[in-house]
Amino acid sequence: MSFYIVAIGGTGARCVEALIHLAASGLLTQDRIQVMFIDPDESNGNLTRTRNTLKQYQACRALLTAQEIVCPWLQTPIESLEVWSPFQDGSNKTLGTFFNYESYRHSNKALGHLFDVLYTKAERNAELDVGFRGRPAIGAAIMSQVRLERSGQDVWSRLIQNIELDLGQGKFPKVFLCGSIFGGTGASGFPTIGRLLKNRLDQAKASDRVKLGGLLMLPYFQFSVPSGQDSGDIYAKPEQFLLNTEAALRYYQIQGIFKSIYLLGDQDPATVKNFSIGKNTQQNDPHFIELYAALAARHFFLNEDTAPVVLLSRRNAQQITWDDVPDRAQVKVRLANTARFAFLWVANVEPELNQGKNNIGEFQKLAPWFSKFFRPKGWFVGGKGLPDLNEDSQQEEIRLIHDWSVSFLQWLGTLHFSGGEVRNVQLFRASLFLERTGQVRRTTDDFPRLVLGAEGLEQANTASPKALKEQLTLQTDNFPGAAGLATALYSLCKP
């Protein structure tokens, strides 16, 4: 099996960010996932964060694959097909120039007048390198110009080639599109790209072997437009979100593109802190809905038969608990495992290793697990085949695992804070491992209490950092070095 995910716009990128974290937790399979991003605003903050998350994931995973370590943690190979933007050639970054408006306004006046009717002057002249400014009408026009068959030099051809390659090998690829329905890029790109892909597969007579799924994010956040913002300017307006959504849903009611479609939204949209038209300032905190988005992608990828419309509900409008999480038994165990490991690494193990590297002879006596993974100092103490803690490669491994762990904890913690005052996200006691400022806490006193509703997780309430590190000292046949230490600790952190 091979999986493809096409993330459209900033919201699509955020969904992929959540999926990467689920994959890191071992909630997907060892089948490869290829990710393609579509965004006219390549410097979009959400997209940048997701790409960084993916890079951290890949770098950390490479540590395990280098030693052929098999572990649920980071088990899924995820590859990026990079970002596709309709403005990749660097020119034509307004609607008018993209369609040569000035040219045919004189040569074909009727067409020029039609263009005038469809788009205001401000819309025609707005710079679109910040995205489609919450205007699906602009985005749809530009996205419709994508020609899959002739874009041989870019990511589209790689996507199509890889799908065809999979088909040639007898695989049954699954392609999943995700984006928002209420903004600009997602709302315009989702149906257009979906239709183009469907047409291409129909031409190749591969529609029955390639399963196309989609996730549409209904409004789940809003923002306040600053009072000084020019109301005549072109930007996403939250008051239009529901109107855009309603109109778009009418289209999907009659479409026949997707085998399965997932719709996710929130009746009490969270208010994001910063208003931004685009670029790197458009970076929103992770939201719990994105966890569901990733779970939807997981559901689509892992299940052979998925319903055309997948339904999910929650028990209590004021809170989200494990009872509201699909496939909760597995999701709870895996997320708890990963959160416990990441927290212990950042708050305890990594600071210890950093202190210990200055005086290994002393540190190895105070941290008995050390000499299982790193070369001890002294006579008759063994350590053949183990790396030195101070080797550059080991320091790099420690840093990579730390960076990944921080990224995971920040994502997991922040989505707990996304419910606002309306409802509580009650999966983990996020405040025990993450400050509101985004800093990971450095005290592990409450480590056994991280997971809410841990009654079903046998070790969660009893396994203290002390007990886990004591078990580390008893490891045999473990892999050496920081990667070996991390995977051993990950296995021990399993509830």
Partner 1 sequence: MIWELTRILTVSIISAILIFLIQPWLYRSAIGFFLVTDLDIEDWLAEQYMPGAVIVFSTALGATILWYIIARNKAVTAASDVAPMRLPWGLLLLIPIIGICCALYFFNKSNDALLSLTFLYVVDTLMLYWFSTAISSPGLLKFIPPGSFTLRHLLRLK
Q: By the criterion CB under 8 A, which residues form the site for partner 1?
A: 348, 351-352, 355-356, 363-368, 371, 376, 378-382, 444, 464-466, 469-470, 473-474
Contacts of 110 (CB under 8 A, 6+ apart): none
Considering the complex, what minimum distance in angstroms separates the CB of residue 416 from partner 1? 24
- For residues 46 and 364, which CB has a smaller minimum distance to partner 1 in the complex? 364
Rounded Cα gap, residues 288 and 256, in angstroms: 29
If the CB atoms of residues 431 and 443 are measured against partner 1, the closer one turns out to be 443
Query: Could you please report the per-residue DSSP string of 249-272?
Result: HHHHHH----SEEEEE--SSPEEP
Q: Which is nearer to partner 1, 370 or 408 (CB)?
A: 370
For residue 485, give the nearest of 64, 30, 56 by alpha carbon. Answer: 64
Structure tokens at 89: 């050639």
Rounded Cα distance, 50 and 157, in Å = 23
Given phi > 0 = left and psi -120 to 50 = alpha, else beta, which region is 234? Answer: beta
Question: Minimum CB separation from partner 1 for residue 445, in Å?
Answer: 8
Distance CA 267, CA 270 (A): 9
Can you say whether residue 108 is alpha, beta or left, with left for phi > 0 and alpha for psi between -120 and 50 degrees? Answer: beta
Our CB check for partner 1 shows the closer of 449 and 466 to be: 466
Q: Smaller CB distance to partner 1: residue 352 or 391?
A: 352
Nearest residue (CB) to partner 1, 297 versus 450: 450
Q: Which is nearer to partner 1, 152 or 378 (CB)?
A: 378
Which is closer to partner 1, CB of 263 or CB of 482?
A: 482
Q: Shortest approach of partner 1 to residue 449 CB, angstroms?
A: 14
Given its phi and psi angles, is residue 202 left (phi above 0), alpha (psi -120 to 50 degrees) or beta?
A: alpha
State the minimum distance, in angstroms, from the CB of residue 465 to partner 1: 4
DSSP structure class, residue 285: P
**Do 454 and 328 contact (CB within 8 A), yes or no?**
no
Smallest distance, partner 1 to C-beta of residue 350, A: 11
Task: For the CB of residue 358, give the shortest distance to partner 1 in the complex, in Å.
Answer: 12
Closest CA to 418 of 247, 267, 239, 220: 220
Q: Where are the beta strands (DSSP E) in 69-199?
A: 78-84, 174-180
Decide the pairing of beta strands 270-271 and 319-321.
unpaired
Looking at beta carbons only, is 91 or 358 nearer to partner 1? 358
Rg of the Cα atoms in the chain? 25
Tell the smallest beta-carbon distance from residue 486 to partner 1 (Å): 17
Shortest spacing between CB 474 and partner 1, in angstroms: 6
Identify the CA nearest to 408 among candidates 23, 11, 3.
Answer: 23
Query: Which helix (DSSP H) or strand (DSSP E) does residue 7 occupy?
Result: strand 3-8
Distance of alpha carbon 12 from alpha carbon 17, whole angstroms = 9
Q: Supply the minimum distance, in Å, between the C-beta of residue 349 and partner 1.
A: 9
